[in-house]
Each structure stands twice: as C-alpha cells, then as structure tokens.
Copies of this chain bind each other. A is one copy, B any other.
Amino acid sequence: MNRLRLVLVDTEGSINLGMILRLAANFSVKEIYLVSSRQYDQEEVKKYAVRADYLYDSLIRVSSIDDALAGCDIKVCTTAKSSEEDVLRSTISSAKLPELLSEYGSACLVFGRESTGLTREELSKCDITSAIPTSSEYPSLNLTNAVAIYLYELLSRNGELARELKVAQRDELEGAIAVFSQIAAEVMRDTNKITRAERAFRKMIYASSTTRTEVRIITHVLRRALRRIKLSKGIL
C-alpha cells in the first residue's frame, strides 16, 4: 500500500474529530475524508488536534460515502462486531491487514459513528471488514483509540513484508465479481441471497491477494459457466 485514505463517516464528537486530526499528523496521513453534514465545534476540534489544528482546513468534506471511497484500490470498513454468520461482519484482524494491504496501491480505511458504527449499507460498500481483537466482554473501543491502533498497525509498526507477486488490478477483480454475480442471479431468485453471495465472493477474491493470472483464469471459467447457463435458459 502506497497511499492510505482515512474515511470518517458521520463522526459525532468534536473532541474525537480533533484527536483524530492529531493522529493523522502523528502518523503522516495525507488524506482525510469526512462524510458528514454535521456542524462541529471548531474551537474544540482544534483544541484537541493540538499542534495538528491546521489539518482542520484540509479535511475533505463530502456528502456521500461513495464520494469518499472513489478511486481506492481496496476499501476496508471497520467494526467492533464480528460474526461468522454475517458476510458483512466476517472480519479480518487488524494485525493481518498490513500484509494484505501491501498488495494494493491505495487503501481506504473507513470508521463509523461513535454510537452505532457503520450501517449495513455502508459496510456493503467496502470489500472487506476488519476488527481489532478485544475482550469479548467489552469489545467496543473509543473511536480515536481504534483509529490510533489501525494507523499504528498500518503505517508505523512494521518494516515492509516483501512479497514478489503483484496482485490484480481493481478492475480485473471487479470483472470476476461481476461475472460471478451474474451467475448467482441466474441460478438463484432471492435478491438477498444473490447479494450475500456476491459479497462472499468479493471478500474471498480481495482477501486472498489474487494475482492477475489467477483472476484471469477464474474469470475465464466463470464466463464460460455463465454462457452455458444462459444458452440453456431458453431450452430448459
């Protein structure tokens, strides 16, 4: 990963926003998007940003999460709630992210509201969901503490883990996903199930550092499968 974009969705507190600006300076984050139409107490934000108060003016404020995510090679949502049953909360540990993200040029890292986190719709706009391992009794971290831990993990703690293989480009991965979705739509009727299937496939392909060759092979098979299914359609 050469570029990390921090995306804050509807951050509620001015103290938290200020502390996050300070963190951005501490860890040399260059891009911060804020998806929110809230009014913040500018004085309080700057007070808690301390010497990073100047960053308040370089916040990129947008009104939709889509605008904030545009152009990222991999989009990572964060949550305090993991689940084995829910494909949107099938989380990857923060500790595993550096190696995973090292395969992509740019990454978006998305944090939700202090009170309720990210909505399901917001989670579904990311490729993978990540969580910090915490006590199961009280898993919910303060927002800025969570941001601190992720920035530390991604930008600070590690020497690069060298990997030789280049992963596929985003459009190549999206190509495979699109064909898989079409197959899912051909073979199932329930829209919900189709969406879940696409998400499961999306996570699998993004989380496995798929190379260009691998994605080409997979897409080839899927495309042929789809064609066969479509051909059979009028006949059966």
* B134–A156 touching, CB < 8 Å: yes
Check B134–A26 contact: CB distance below 8 A. Answer: yes
Contact string, A122-159, partner B, CB cutoff 8 A, digits 1/0? 00000000001111111111101110110011001111
Contact A156 B132 (CB under 8 A): yes
Binary interface encoding of chain A residues 1-44 relative to chain B, with 1 for a CB under 8 A from any of its CBs, else 0? 00000000000000100010011011110000000000000000
Which residues of A, 70-91, contact B by the 8 Å Cβ criterion? 82-87, 90-91
Interface of A is mostly: helix
Q: Is the CB of B208 within 8 A of A141?
A: no
The answer to whether B161 touches A135 (Cβ under 8 A) is yes
A147 nearest in chain B by CB position: B145
B residues less than 8 Å from A207 (CB atoms): 207-209
Cα-based distance from A148 to B152 in the complex (angstroms) = 10
- Bound-complex Cα distance A115 to B133 (A): 30
Nearest CB in chain B: distance from A211 CB, A: 5
Given contacts A23-B142, A204-B205, 18 further A-B contacts (CB under 8 A): A19-B142, A19-B145, A87-B214, A90-B213, A92-B209, A148-B148, A149-B152, A152-B152, A183-B221, A187-B225, A188-B220, A204-B208, A207-B207, A207-B208, A225-B229, A232-B235, A232-B236, A235-B236
Interface pair A214/B90, CB less than 8 Å apart: yes
Cβ–Cβ contact B197 & A220, under 8 A: yes
**CB 8 Å contact bits of A49-73 with B (1 = contact, 0 = none):** 0111000000000000000000000
